[in-house]
C-alpha cells in the first residue's frame, strides 16, 4: 500500500503487516464518520500498531471513559495528546487535552489537572472557535468543582455544555454529541427542558434512526432507560430507579473512582436507609453525600441534599458532625461577598467567582492573626487566648496594645480588598463576622478526614472517597509565616492526619491487589514521613509479598541511608529481619 493512500492521522512504520494496516484504515474511517469502534476491534490490534494511530487512541480513550474505566482512559488520552502533538495537529491536540482533563475531573484528581484546565480556559477565551467539544465539556464539568472557582472564568456552565454539544454536532461526532447531552441531563434534568436543549434532543432522535450508538442515549433521555448504555451511565440510570431494588449495590471496579457515580450511590443509600426506617444511618449517609456535594456541586445533587434534609430534619443531619462551611446553596448575592481562603501551600484569598484578592499586610503579626482566627471554631477566639498564643502574655498592657494595633491593621487590609468591618471584638471574643467567610481549605480538609475516620471501620469504600479528595488538599500550613508554638501544633495535627490517610489508602489498595495504587500511596507515605520506620516496613512487606526481593532490599538501603545521614540512627533489628529472613 502506498503512503499516499494512508489517512493523514496514521503514522506509518515500515514493516507493518498489510492486514493490520487495512484494519487500521477501516477503523480510522469509521471514527472519521463519527462512529466509535467496538472495544474488541481495537484491542485485537497489536499495541505497537494501535498506538501509532491518534484517531484510534482517541476512540479508545472515549470508549474507556464512557465505560467508567477512567485510569485506563487516562493512559489512552495521554498517548493521543502526544500523537496529535507529533503530527502538529494543534486543534486535535487541544481537544485531547480537553478529553484528558475531563477524565481527571471525573476522578477528582487536580494535582495535574489545574494546569490543564487553566490552559483550556485561556484557549477558550483567546480563540473559542478553535476549541472542540471536549474542551468545552471539560470546562463545563470542571466548573462543578468548588476548588476551580479560583481560576476558571465565570461563564455559565450551561453555556459551556451548549458549546460542547454544538461543536460535536458541527464536527459530525455523533457519539460526542449524544453523550454530552446525556451528561448535561445527569448534571441537571430540569434544565434540559429549557432553551435549545429540547431541540438538540429531537435532533439526536433523528440521528438515532441512522446511528445505533445514538439510539440508547436517546432512549435514556426520553424514557430514562439504561438499556444499551455503557457501564458508567447504566449504573447511574439504574440507581435512580432502584430505591427498593437490592440488585443495585455500591459501584464496583473502576466506577469506585468516579466521584459523580459515588454521589449517585450515596443518594441511593440514603433513600434505602430511609425506606428501612434507619434514620440515623440515613443521616450519616446523607452527610457523606453533603461532603461530596460541597466538593462537586450540580443542580441535581443540590436538589437531593435539600430533599433528604427536609425528610430527615436538619438537626438529624448535623448531629455529632463538626461545623463545616455553610451550604453552597446560599443566595448568590450573599455568597458573592464572601471570601474563599487557602491556608495550605501558601495563603491566598478569592471571591466565589474566582477573583483573586491581594490584601496589603503592613506587618506580619496582622497576617498571623488572620490565619489564627480562621483556624478557630466559628472563626472566633477568646481575647485572652489570642493574647497568650500570639503575643505571649495574657495580662500585659503592652501586648494588649499590640493586639489593638494588629486588629486595626487586619481590618485595614481586609477593607482594602472590599471587606469593611469584617472583624469584630465583642463580649471577650475576637473574630470574623458570620457572613464574611465562604470556605477555608483547612476546615474542608479536617472535616473530610474526620468523617472518613468515622466511616473507615464500617464502610471503607466511602471513607476512601473522602480520603482521596482530602489528601490532595494537603500542604504546609501558613507557609512563610514565622515559627510559633500554636502554628507548629496545627502543622503537626495536619501532618498526623495526612499520615493516617496515606497509610489507610495504601492498606486499602493492598487489600484490593491494586499494586500500582498501593505502591503510589506507600511511596507518598514515605515521602511525607521519611522519619517513620513503619512506612518503610510496610513498603518492604509489600514487595516481599510479591516475590520482589530486590525492591525490598532497595527500600531497606534507602531507609538505612536516610536514618544514618539525617537522623544519626540505625534501623531497628526487626526491620533488618523483615528484609533478610524468608
Q: Where are the alpha helices (DSSP H) in 350-396?
A: 364-374, 383-386
pTM for the whole structure? 0.56
pLDDT classification of 316: cutoffs 50, 70, 90 = very low
Q: What is the CA radius of gyration of the chain?
A: 27
Backbone angles phi, psi at 243, to 5 degrees: -60, -30
pLDDT classification of 14: cutoffs 50, 70, 90 = very low
The larger pLDDT score, comparing residue 479 to residue 135, is at 135
138/106 Cα distance (integer angstroms): 10
Q: For residue 336, what is the domain's CATH number?
A: 1.10.10.10
In a domain, 475, yes or no: yes
158 and 53 part of one domain: yes
Q: How many domains does the chain have?
A: 3
End-to-end CA separation in angstroms for the chain: 58
In a domain, 30, yes or no: yes
In a domain, 417, yes or no: yes
The DSSP 8-state label assigned to residue 547 in this structure reads: T
Cell 446525556: give the residue: 182
Q: For residue 53, what is the domain's CATH number?
A: 1.25.40
Q: Is the pLDDT of residue 4 over 50?
A: no
> For the ranges 9-18, 79-88, 300-309, 379-388, which has the lowest average pLDDT?
9-18
Backbone angles phi, psi at 432, to 5 degrees: -85, 150
SS3 content of the chain, % helix, strand, coil (to 5): 65, 5, 30
Backbone angles phi, psi at 204, to 5 degrees: -60, -35
Determine the average pLDDT of the residues in 291-300: 82
51 and 177 part of one domain: yes
- Determine contact, residues 261/107, Cβ cutoff 8 Å: no
153 and 29 part of one domain: yes
305 and 373 part of one domain: no
383 and 474 part of one domain: yes
Query: Could you tell me whether strands 423-426 and 356-357 are parallel, antiparallel, or unpaired per DSSP bridges?
Result: unpaired
In a domain, 564, yes or no: no
143 and 197 part of one domain: yes
In a domain, 224, yes or no: no
344 and 290 part of one domain: no
User: Among residues 293, 318, 343, which one ends one of the domains?
Assistant: 318
Q: What does the pLDDT look like over 413-445, one tens digit per residue?
A: 999 999 988 998 887 889 998 778 988 999 889
Helix or strand or coil: residue 439?
Answer: strand
38 and 167 part of one domain: yes
400 and 252 part of one domain: no
| 3-state SS record for 451-479 | HHHHHHCCCHHHHHHHHHHHHCCCCCECC
Task: Say what percent of the chain tops pLDDT 90.
Answer: 31
Kindly state the helix (H) or strand (E) to which residue 304 belongs, with its residue range: helix 299-312
Compute how many other C-beta atoms are within 10 angstroms of the C-beta atom of residue 571.
18
Backbone angles phi, psi at 426, to 5 degrees: -155, 135
255 and 345 part of one domain: no
Compute how many other C-beta atoms are within 10 angstroms of the C-beta atom of residue 557.
11
In a domain, 197, yes or no: yes
Domain that holds residue 268: 242-318
pLDDT classification of 323: cutoffs 50, 70, 90 = very low
User: Among residues 423, 456, 487, which one ends one of the domains?
Assistant: 487
Compute how many other C-beta atoms are within 10 angstroms of the C-beta atom of residue 245.
11
- Determine contact, residues 300/186, Cβ cutoff 8 Å: yes
Q: What does the pLDDT look like over 109-125, one tens digit per residue?
A: 776 778 888 889 889 98
The CA–CA distances, whole Å, from 420 to 329, 342, 410, 413 equal: 24, 20, 11, 9
Cα dihedral 441/443/445/450 (nearest 10): -170
490/445 Cα distance (integer angstroms): 13
In a domain, 60, yes or no: yes
> Residue 423 forms beta bridges with which residues?
432
In a domain, 116, yes or no: yes
Instruction: Please state, rounded to an integer, the average pLDDT across all residues of the chain.
Output: 83
Angle, CA 450 vertex, CA 447 and CA 454 arms, to 5°: 135
Compute how many other C-beta atoms are within 10 angstroms of the C-beta atom of residue 25.
16
121 and 166 part of one domain: yes
User: Among residues 318, 351, 366, which one ends one of the domains?
Assistant: 318
Determine the average pLDDT of the residues in 134-163: 82
194 and 280 part of one domain: no
Amino acid at each position: 500500500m502506498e503512503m499516499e493512500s494512508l489517512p493523514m492521522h496514521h503514522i506509518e512504520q515500515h514493516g507493518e503487516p498489510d492486514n493490520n494496516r487495512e484494519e487500521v484504515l477501516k477503523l480510522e474511517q469509521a471514527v472519521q464518520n463519527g462512529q466509535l469502534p467496538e472495544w474488541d476491534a481495537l484491542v485485537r490490534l497489536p499495541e505497537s500498531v494501535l498506538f501509532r494511530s491518534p484517531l484510534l487512541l482517541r476512540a479508545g480513550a472515549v470508549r474507556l471513559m464512557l465505560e467508567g474505566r477512567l485510569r485506563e482512559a487516562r493512559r489512552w488520552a495521554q498517548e493521543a495528546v502526544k500523537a496529535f502533538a507529533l503530527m502538529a495537529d494543534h486543534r486535535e491536540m487541544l481537544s485531547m487535552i480537553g478529553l484528558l482533563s475531563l477524565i481527571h475531573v471525573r476522578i477528582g484528581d487536580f494535582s495535574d489537572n489545574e494546569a490543564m484546565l487553566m490552559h483550556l480556559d485561556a484557549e477558550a477565551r483567546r480563540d473559542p472557535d478553535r476549541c472542540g467539544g471536549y474542551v468545552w465539556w471539560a470546562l463545563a464539568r470542571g466548573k462543578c468543582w468548588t476548588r476551580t472557582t479560583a481560576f476558571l472564568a465565570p461563564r455559565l456552565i450551561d453555556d459551556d455544555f451548549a458549546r460542547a454539544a454544538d461543536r460535536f454536532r458541527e464536527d459530525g461526532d455523533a457519539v460526542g454529541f449524544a453523550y454530552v447531552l446525556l451528561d448535561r441531563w445527569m448534571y441537571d434534568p430540569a434544565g434540559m427542558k429549557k432553551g435549545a436543549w429540547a431541540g438538540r434532543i429531537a435532533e439526536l432522535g433523528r440521528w438515532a434512526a441512522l446511528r445505533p450508538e445514538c439510539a440508547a442515549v436517546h432512549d435514556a433521555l426520553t424514557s430514562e432507560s439504561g438499556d444499551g448504555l455503557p457501564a458508567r451511565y447504566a449504573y447511574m440510570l439504574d440507581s435512580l430507579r432502584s430505591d427498593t431494588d437490592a440488585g443495585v449495590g455500591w459501584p464496583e471496579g473502576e466506577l469506585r473512582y468516579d466521584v459523580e457515580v459515588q454521589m449517585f450511590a450515596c443518594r441511593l443509600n440514603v433513600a434505602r436507609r430511609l425506606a428501612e426506617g434507619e434514620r440515623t444511618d440515613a443521616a450519616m449517609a446523607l452527610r457523606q453525600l453533603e461532603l461530596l456535594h460541597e466538593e462537586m456541586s450540580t443542580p441535581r445533587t443540590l436538589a437531593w441534599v435539600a430533599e433528604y434534609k427536609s425528610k430527615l430534619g436538619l438537626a438529624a443531619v448535623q448531629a455529632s458532625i463538626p461545623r463545616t462551611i455553610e451550604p453552597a446553596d446560599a443566595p448568590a448575592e450573599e455568597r458573592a461577598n464572601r471570601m474563599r481562603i487557602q491556608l495550605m501551600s501558601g495563603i491566598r484569598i478569592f471571591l466565589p467567582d474566582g477573583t483573586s484578592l491581594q490584601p496589603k499586610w503592613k506587618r506580619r503579626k496582622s497576617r498571623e492573626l488572620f490565619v489564627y482566627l480562621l483556624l478557630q471554631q466559628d472563626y472566633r477566639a477568646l481575647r485572652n487566648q489570642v493574647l497568650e498564643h500570639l503575643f505571649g502574655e495574657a495580662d500585659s498592657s503592652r501586648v494588649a496594645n499590640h493586639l489593638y494595633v494588629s486588629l486595626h491593621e487586619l481590618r485595614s487590609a481586609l477593607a482594602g480588598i472590599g471587606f469593611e468591618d469584617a472583624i469584630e471584638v465583642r463580649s471577650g471574643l475576637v473574630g470574623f463576622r458570620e457572613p464574611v467567610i465562604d470556605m477555608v481549605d483547612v476546615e474542608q480538609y479536617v472535616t473530610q478526614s474526620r468523617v472518613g475516620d468515622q466511616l473507615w471501620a464500617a464502610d471503607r469504600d466511602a471513607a476512601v472517597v473522602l480520603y482521596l479528595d482530602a489528601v490532595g488538599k494537603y500542604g504546609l500550613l501558613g507557609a512563610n509565616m514565622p515559627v510559633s508554638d500554636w502554628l507548629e501544633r496545627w502543622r503537626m495535627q495536619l501532618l498526623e492526619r495526612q499520615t493516617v490517610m496515606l497509610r489507610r489508602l495504601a492498606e486499602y489498595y493492598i487489600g484490593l491487589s491494586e499494586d500500582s495504587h498501593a505502591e503510589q500511596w506507600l511511596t507518598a507515605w514515605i515521602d511525607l514521613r521519611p522519619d517513620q520506620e513503619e512506612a518503610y516496613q510496610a513498603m518492604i512487606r509489600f514487595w516481599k509479598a510479591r516475590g520482589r526481593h530486590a525492591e525490598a532490599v532497595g527500600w531497606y538501603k534507602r531507609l538505612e541511608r536516610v536514618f544514618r545521614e539525617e537522623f544519626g540512627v540505625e534501623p531497628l533489628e526487626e526491620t533488618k529481619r523483615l528484609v533478610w529472613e524468608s
